[in-house]
Structure 1
Amino acid sequence: MIERARTQELHARIYDVAAIPLTDGVTETAMRLMEAAADAFADRGFHATTTRDIAGRAGLSPAGVYVHFASKEDLLYSICRRGHTAARDMLVEAAAAADTPTEALYAILVNFSRWHAEQYRVGRIVQYEFGHLTATHRDKVMALRKQIDSVVRSVLTDGVARGEFQIDDVPHTALALLSLCIDVARWYEPGIKRTPQEIGEINGELGLRLVGAR
């Protein structure tokens, strides 16, 4: 089993990823609406939030929402899609930049956990509110979730092949590791004893122990 002294030698590159990344073709007003919607959904939940609530937080009239988004659900989808895409790209880059599966897994766990702490409000939305999406939008978000899962499975499979990990069930191990990171958004609150970085490092150590890293 990997010792704590060994994990302290692993320096995961830190990726600063926005909760809702600004992408090409997105206006500042649309971005403001997504940020306002994220705050409203986090405070009140999807069902209790109205387009009037969102518009007010964004400094617009209720009619202004529909200039940029077809519905409240469309806003939720835009947030979920961007959040999942940002997380996927972060994990892909973290895995690609590592020299070994152990380093790759540690970097993934540190950064994914840290993201769910630093962006906990949006993290709660993208992880726990996506069930309110339409079937079509839900399928698209699920495709992104499967891609995230695939990144972790690939690292685990590589680690087993190289003799770095001892795993009997790669799919379920990947699920357990991702759940460890995602759950941070559920319980994290600013001001708690541990910082997002410390939470990431602890989860990184726990994850390496789980896979029997050598």
Structure 2
Amino acid sequence: MSAAEQTPEGEDVPWGEVTPEAARRLLVAAVEAFAERGYHATTTRDIAGRAGMSPAALYIHYKTKEELLHRISRIGHDKALEILRAAESGGGAASERLADAVRSFVRWHAEHHTTARVVQYELDALGPEHRAEIVELRRETDASVRRIIEQGVAAGEFDQADVAGTTVAVLSLCIDVARWFNPEGRRTPDEVGELYADLVLRMVGRR
């Protein structure tokens, strides 16, 4: 997840922001297991086994399987919101900022498609308190994109009467990349991002 953490050889460490190392390994294993089998079909024994640890070791770092899912979901949603807010606060016209938001958001969902599937599609497996927390982050994500579109409409850049509906459509289009993206496919994450940015500008009726 974090490109800031690297091995001595310069390779990125997945979820490098999670410490200690045992907790990171368990989280990586949980992402793989949840994406492959689904949250409910995955056991703590499955996760510990993938991490090369005993089931008892998991509970040293995470009290429950749901806590693991919450940690994954929270980090993923925080990253998604960070991407969109960076684009929203950038300089330039609304069309430029919207295109940048879509490129970056789509690229993240493609590059981290396994993680993104868990982050975006296992919401209902969270407990009530954690679910409410993530739903609020999703509202903030929606608001960030909606503000850019509203500003574009107000400035006469976009010809779109239904801003709320268009915002939902834009986010749904971007998020769904995690379902189908294949690293061995004919398009790279950057190419998909460029394609979707162009599609979204058409959706908002760029003038």
Whether 1:130 and 2:123 are equivalent positions in the alignment is: yes
* CA-CA distance at 1:16 after TM superposition: 6.5
Offset from partner CA, 1:36-63 (integer Å, 9 cap, x none): 1001111111111111111111121101
Q: Distance in 1 between matches of 2:56 and 2:37?
A: 21
**Secondary structure class of the residue paired with 2:194:** helix
Offset from partner CA, 1:98-128 (integer Å, 9 cap, x none): 3111111000111111111110001111111
TM-score (norm 2): 0.91
Structure 1 counterpart of 2:145: 152
CA change 1:21–1:213 in 2 (3 A) is: farther
Whether 1:62 and 2:59 are equivalent positions in the alignment is: no
Amino acid corresponding to residue 159 of structure 1 in structure 2: G
Structure 1 counterpart of 2:164: 171
Whether 1:206 and 2:170 are equivalent positions in the alignment is: no
Whether 1:114 and 2:107 are equivalent positions in the alignment is: yes
CA change 1:59–1:16 in 2 (3 A) is: closer
* CA-CA distance at 1:20 after TM superposition: 4.3
CA change 1:154–1:185 in 2 (3 A) is: same
Amino acid corresponding to residue 80 of structure 1 in structure 2: S
RMSD: 1.8
Point out where structure 1 has 5 or more consecutive residues left out of the alignment: 1-14
Q: Distance in 2 between matches of 1:145 and 1:60?
A: 34
Out of 11, 25, 36, the residue aligned to residue 29 of structure 2 is 36
**Secondary structure class of the residue paired with 1:147:** helix
Between Structure 1 and Structure 2, how many residues are aligned? 198
Q: Distance in 1 between matches of 2:3 and 2:202?
A: 26
Point out where structure 2 has 5 or more consecutive residues left out of the alignment: 5-11
Structure 1 counterpart of 2:38: 45
Amino acid corresponding to residue 184 of structure 2 in structure 1: G
Structure 1 counterpart of 2:17: 22
4+ long deviations beyond 4 Å: 15-21
Higher relative contact order (CA 8 A, sep 6+): 1
CA change 1:98–1:28 in 2 (3 A) is: farther
Structure 1 counterpart of 2:8: none
